Homo-oligomer: A and B are copies of this chain.
Amino acid sequence: MGFTVDQSIKSFDGRLLKLSHKSEVTHTEMAVNVYLPQQYFAEGSKKLPILLYLSGLTCTPNNASEKAFFQPYANKYGFAVVYPDTSPRGANVAGEDDSWDFGTGAGFYLDATEEPWSKNYRMYTYLLKELLPLIGKEYERLDTTNISICGHSMGGYGALMLYLKNPDIFNSCSAFAPIANPSNCQWGQKCFGNYLGSDKAKWAQYDPCELIHNFKGEKKPILIHQGTADNFYRRDHQLQPENLVKAAKNSPLDGLIDLKLVDGYDHSYYFISSFVADHCAFHAKYMGLD
């Protein structure tokens, strides 16, 4: 099944498409936004790379589309941006709407193995096996062999996790204030425990601080920005990017976690948008666009 184009909005000489489609993986209707830069519409242009951007807890595809401000840079370099949703919605699983940090809006980009979540909460397979192939099929001038990944908070964890597990699929990875060590913080423990059960070996299959030891890809830096005034970082210890820097030692990515602590920034889209230009330049280099 293809996409329904719910809206097509001109933005920075390109177009932001608000799409929906029936997912056979999550068994729900899924929303996704896709930004096609001006180059996509130019005669005879070559295939364009894709930046997959994963949003944080509670977000829909619209938040980042409106506030993160990738579009001008995507349009400058010539790559598309894909903004998936953060979970299935309307799966009607009992309890899915009870808290903001679990269930709806908090799919954690993994495949749940525990009941009652395992039927619908399968964002990992949804992204890799359904959404990206469908994007490639429906938008033939996008190059699904040249995909980079980025995300914020829960989506920053998602970007790190997906990249570390799939260096054959993703070119380069960056993150804003990622949940870098989910096994070791409340948000991650709640989601891993409910979605995956109590077996820590299963948690390790999704934790960037574990996955980094077995990374099989090229030795490229991973760019991470973290604001020092982010309460989820400094007060609540939900993010812990230093744990990833530490885990990288004696891993194939030793010294390659480029963690930039930026003074005074919080966890909001005001923080993300302030550094989006840097992340786009970083990815453009690995996409072969700079």
Q: When chains A and B are docked, how far (Å) is the Cα of A196 from the Cα of B68?
A: 41
Q: Is the CB of A274 within 8 A of B69?
A: no
From known contacts A10-B229, A10-B265, infer whether A16 and B66 are also in contact, taking CB-CB under 8 Å: no
Q: Is the CB of B16 within 8 A of A270?
A: yes
* Chain B residue at smallest Cβ distance from A69: B69
Q: How far is the CB of A228 from chain B (nearest CB, A)?
A: 10
Copies in the complex: 2
Is residue A143 within 8 Å, beta carbon to beta carbon, of the partner chain? no
Cross-interface CB contact of A11 among B13, B72, B274, cutoff 8 Å: B274
Interface residue SS majority, chain A = mixed
From known contacts A66-B67, A69-B69, infer whether A266 and B9 are also in contact, taking CB-CB under 8 Å: yes
Q: Is the CB of B10 within 8 A of A274?
A: yes
Is residue A208 within 8 Å, beta carbon to beta carbon, of the partner chain? no
Is residue A271 within 8 Å, beta carbon to beta carbon, of the partner chain? yes
Is residue A273 within 8 Å, beta carbon to beta carbon, of the partner chain? yes
Q: Is the CB of A9 within 8 A of B67?
A: no
Q: Is the CB of A69 within 8 A of B13?
A: no
* Chain B residue at smallest Cβ distance from A13: B274
Is residue A268 within 8 Å, beta carbon to beta carbon, of the partner chain? yes
With A10-B264, A66-B66, A66-B67 given, can you name 15 additional A-B contacts, CB distance below 8 Å? Answer: A9-B266, A9-B268, A10-B227, A10-B229, A10-B265, A10-B270, A10-B271, A11-B273, A11-B274, A13-B274, A16-B270, A67-B67, A69-B69, A71-B273, A72-B273
Q: Give 8 CB contacts A-B under 8 Å.
A: A9-B266, A11-B273, A16-B270, A66-B66, A66-B270, A69-B69, A69-B273, A71-B273
